[in-house]
């Protein structure tokens, strides 16, 4: 066990960039998928186009994408941008589908009630549709994030640094410990981020679990300043 | 009254596939009235209601609210100016009860605090505990949800209330409560209410005016409930109102019916005659210590009353109530005698069925 103590700095730096490369595409993918899915949900022609289009995207092998993207984007082959863009494409492939399902899972009676109350279309989207779509949407986001964390490693093959670098480097220099550390930290990262999302989801969907009175709103309701 | 709060002028709604939902509807809803749109499914009653707040746009004709053509008012603004209650309440599941009730005041730009105070006030108006304010809709019973739905519609104090089959998804006991409360609210708040239902009994119970819609969106009759029961405009209305309409029409008649005496027995086995000398019958009415009827026993059982011995009584009649209630009390009583009680539920005497029928006869003769 000599590799780890001597390379803590490297491990920390690679974990950081790994995290960045996995999380940023999820954020970008969400920003693109949500409006796309909202337009597709309930639309007779746009829905099949986006759903099938997204499924098609997912069939592109990741390594191909990593190699082809620099040609399209004009980036260096080892640029981090290639990984970010490639993974964003995969996130969209997963999220367009689950976000469309999410918007379609919202009870039409609730939407109608919101309209009848006098919400404008924009107000209704932010105040009613989006919050109510969260539970189904979140399942897709968790899948996408975990998939990303494993997929970022592939970038190491073409020279983009990540925890995958420990794997390629360890393999080349025959350091079993380096490989093992890379695998373990990747798995821990995946489990950790998934739990963070799960907890965030629980917080955003408190209303879904009956039987428990929300003490915070209750305090607010009685005007408790404490 | 006198003024028309809502007016339909030659309103028509046809869909692209050629079906007609509403066919040439002209109708005035008087200010401060409760008007019921009733009819079978697919008759255009809900479509008509939704044209009032532009949830549905008419193909032709105009809808006016307080003299203003609704098509000239921006949709969201128009809707915020009217209360809307729908079937299965339509509460926002991710918002607490108080937040739900605050919806329209918040959309109108009221401060959170003011909206919240108003919401809590309304919880009491509709008979809900303030403690429920922090709950989510899924933590409420169906009846409670429906009450919150009514409170939400009232929150901005709109002059017009639109109710789309609001009580059809709750059980009959809760529905009766909600109906009673609505009548009570109407007395107190002076709103113009348009209420959609497919239940003729509900229409007769609630409506000042009833509009009966026929399939194809035709207005078959628009009149007082009594008139619709007694003089249906055509075969459709007569069929829709149903075979019980003669019985139901008795709801609008009252007549003094002479009380007769009945033999009573209390928990200790003491007997007494109430309301005059008891006629010749095997039936004895059991009463509690407060003089309220408990149930019927036959005289052979009265010597040793057990909880099982007495037969549950029928409905009770309050003197001054309708002939329908008197006749129903007689028909539903095991002894055939209608039990009459005062406002505190104490036994006054009984009505013999022949006396009830005689009263019905007299009322009929007086009408001719």
Domains of chain B with CATH codes? 4-252 (3.40.50.300), 262-366 (3.10.580.10)
Q: Within 13 A of A179's CA, how many CA atoms are on the CB side?
A: 9
Residue A84 lies in a domain: yes
pLDDT of residue A110: 95
**What total number of domains does chain A contain?**
1
Residue A214 lies in a domain: no
- In which domain, by residue range, is A62 found? 4-108+145-205
Residue A13 lies in a domain: yes
Q: Give alpha helix (H) positions in B127-195.
A: 142-154, 172-189
Instruction: State the angle between helix axes of A130-152 and A80-104 in degrees (0 to 180), rounded to the nearest 10.
Output: 150
Choose, out of A105, A109, A117, the residue to mutate when testing the contact with B (most B CBs < 10 Å).
A117
Residue A122 lies in a domain: no
Is A107 touching B (CB cutoff 8 A)? yes
Residue-wise pLDDT tens digits, B263-311: 888 878 788 888 888 877 778 888 888 888 888 887 665 555 554 455 6
C-alpha distance across the termini of chain A, in Å? 53
Read off the CATH number of the domain in which A57 is found. 1.10.3720.10
Residue A10 CB neighbours (<10 A): 16
Residue-wise pLDDT tens digits, B174-203: 999 999 999 999 888 889 999 999 999 899
- In sequence order, what are the residues at sequence separation of 6 or more whose Cβ sits closer than 8 angstroms to the Cβ of residue A73? A81, A82, A85
Cross-chain Cβ contact B79/A118 below 8 Å: yes
Residue A128 lies in a domain: no
Is B140 touching A (CB cutoff 8 A)? no
Residue A220 lies in a domain: no
Find, in chain A, the residue whose alpha carbon is nearest to that of B139: A210
Mean pLDDT of B342-361: 89
Residue A152 lies in a domain: yes
Tallying the residues shown for chain B, one arrives at 368
Name the nearest CA neighbour of A163 among A194, A185, A188, A191.
Answer: A185
Structure-token match 């780890």, residue found? A4
Choose, out of A118, A205, A212, the residue to mutate when testing the contact with B (most B CBs < 10 Å).
A118
Name the nearest CA neighbour of A20 among A67, A101, A84, A104.
Answer: A84
Alpha-carbon span A146 to B365, nearest angstrom: 84
Size of interface A-B (CB pairs under 8 A): 89
pLDDT in tens, chain A (226 residues): 689 999 999 999 999 999 999 999 999 999 999 999 999 998 899 999 999 999 898 888 888 888 899 999 999 988 999 999 999 999 999 999 999 999 999 999 999 999 999 999 999 999 999 999 999 999 999 999 999 999 999 999 888 999 999 999 999 999 999 999 999 999 999 999 999 999 999 988 888 875 544 444 444 433 333 3
Residue A159 lies in a domain: yes
pLDDT of residue A220: 40
Give the ipTM: 0.81
């Amino acid at each position: 066990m000599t590799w780890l103590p001597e390379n803590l700095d490297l491990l920390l730096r690679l974990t950081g960039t790994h995290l960045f490369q996995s999380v940023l595409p999820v954020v970008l993918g969400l920003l693109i998928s949500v409006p796309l899915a909202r337009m597709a949900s309930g639309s007779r022609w746009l829905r099949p186009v986006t759903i099938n289009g997204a499924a098609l995207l997912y069939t592109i092998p990741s390594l191909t994408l990593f190699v082809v993207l620099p040609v399209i984007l004009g980036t260096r082959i080892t640029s981090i941008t290639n990984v970010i863009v490639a993974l964003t494409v995969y996130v969209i492939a997963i999220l367009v589908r689950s976000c469309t399902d999410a918007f379609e899972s919202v009870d039409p009676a609730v939407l109608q009630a919101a309209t009848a109350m006098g919400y404008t279309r924009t107000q209704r989207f932010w105040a009613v549709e989006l919050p109510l779509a969260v539970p189904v949407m979140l399942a897709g986001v968790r899948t996408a994030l975990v998939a990303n964390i494993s997929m970022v490693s592939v970038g190491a093959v073409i020279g983009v640094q990540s925890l995958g670098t420990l794997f390629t480097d360890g393999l080349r220099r025959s350091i079993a410990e380096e490989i093992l550390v890379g695998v373990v930290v990747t798995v821990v990262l995946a489990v950790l981020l998934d739990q963070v999302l799960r907890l965030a989801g629980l917080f955003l969907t408190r209303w879904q679990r009956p039987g428990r009175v929300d003490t915070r709103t209750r305090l607010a309701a009685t005007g408790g300043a404490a | 009254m006198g003024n028309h709060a809502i007016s339909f002028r030659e309103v028509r709604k046809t869909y692209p596939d050629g079906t007609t939902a509403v066919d040439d509807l002209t109708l005035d809803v008087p200010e401060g009235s409760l008007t019921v749109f009733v009819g079978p499914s697919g008759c255009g009653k809900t479509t008509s209601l939704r044209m009032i707040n532009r949830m549905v746009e008419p193909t032709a004709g105009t809808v006016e609210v307080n003299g203003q053509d609704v098509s000239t008012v921006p949709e969201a603004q128009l809707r915020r100016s009217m209360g809307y209650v729908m079937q299965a309440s339509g509460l926002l599941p991710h918002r607490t009860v108080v937040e739900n009730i605050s919806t329209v005041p918040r959309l109108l730009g009221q401060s959170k605090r003011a909206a919240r105070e108003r919401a809590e006030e309304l919880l009491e108006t509709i008979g809900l505990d303030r403690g429920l304010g922090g709950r989510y809709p899924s933590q409420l019973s169906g009846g409670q949800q429906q009450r919150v739905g009514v409170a939400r519609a009232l929150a901005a104090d709109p002059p017009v209330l639109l109710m789309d089959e609001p009580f059809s998804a709750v059980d009959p006991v809760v529905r009766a409560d909600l109906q009673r409360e609505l009548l009570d609210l109407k007395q107190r708040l002076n709103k113009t209410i348009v209420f959609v239902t497919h239940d003729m009994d509900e229409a007769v119970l609630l409506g000042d005016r009833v509009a009966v819609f026929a399939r194809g969106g035709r207005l078959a009759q628009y009149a007082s409930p009594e008139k619709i029961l007694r003089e249906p405009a055509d075969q459709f209305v007569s069929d829709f109102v149903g075979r019980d309409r003669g019985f139901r029409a008795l709801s609008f008649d009252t007549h003094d019916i002479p009380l007769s005496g009945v033999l009573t027995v209390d928990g200790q086995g003491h007997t007494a005659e109430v309301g005059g000398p008891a006629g010749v019958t095997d039936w004895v009415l059991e009463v509690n210590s407060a003089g309220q009827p408990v149930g019927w026993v036959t005289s052979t059982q009265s010597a040793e009353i057990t909880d099982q011995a007495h037969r549950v009584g029928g409905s009770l009649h309050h003197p001054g109530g309708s002939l329908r209630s008197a006749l129903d009390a007689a028909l539903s009583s095991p002894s055939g005698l209608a039990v009459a009680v005062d406002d505190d539920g104490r036994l006054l005497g009984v009505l013999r069925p022949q006396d009830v029928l005689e009263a019905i006869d007299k009322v009929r003769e007086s009408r001719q």
